Amino acid sequence: MQPQRFPECNHPTVKALFRYSDQDLLTLFQRHPEQGKYFVALFCRYHPIVYTLIAHAARSPVQGDYLFALTWRHVFYEMRGLELRGAAAIEATSFQNWLINVTALCINQAELPPVESITYDLKSTSPPLWCYLEQALDRLPPVIRLILLMAKTFQWSPTRIAAYLQAEGDMLSPAQVQDYLQESYRMVTVNLPEDIREIYLGETAGVENGALALSDSR
């Protein structure tokens, strides 16, 4: 595994946070869940350590990249209730040690799928974006979420999706499925934190490609 470069680390919104301590970023992350920049800042600060640890343990680059993303997803959820204790002078080390322990846990316990079944692409979807896309996906109405997953995970056509839903009792036409699919892109975008859209998607980008990265998390 070669070290990866993440463009978000050079984004002005993220760079402005580099002066904050780990504890400050953690506290802001917990107090402002509607903002994603604090998690991104911690990711940019510590991704080289996590990547290096996983590189030594991964059997293949593809599995390594996937495990790297899974590890940061685990960190994302664990940070919500994380409490760091200790003197201010060692708080950065405390967070780093916690992160190293979490990474080791993920390396030892992760059950990775075969390389040929992994569709996650680290170069196209950074772990923080993946986390927030997954969170946004979970907020979709069940039918719209199912349509999006069938279209992006299984590459099903609107006609095939409609046939499946009709067999399950949801009488939707292929045209209605297509409408729901377009609506799902809009809803996922709306459900993303505003700063995450700014950092990763820009003003005119959508989430169609990013939605593909969610397939391995289900």
pLDDT, position 80: 94
| Domain ranges for the chain | 7-117, 127-217
CATH T-level topology, domain 127-217? Arc Repressor Mutant, subunit A (1.10.10)
pLDDT, position 56: 87
Percent of the chain scoring above 90 in pLDDT: 71
pTM of the model: 0.85
The stretch 156-185 carries a mean pLDDT of 94
Q: Tokens 């505003």 — which residue?
A: 194
pLDDT digits (tens, 9 = 90+) for 39-76: 999 999 999 999 999 988 888 899 999 999 999 999 99
Domain 7-117, CATH: 1.10.1740
The stretch 116-127 carries a mean pLDDT of 90
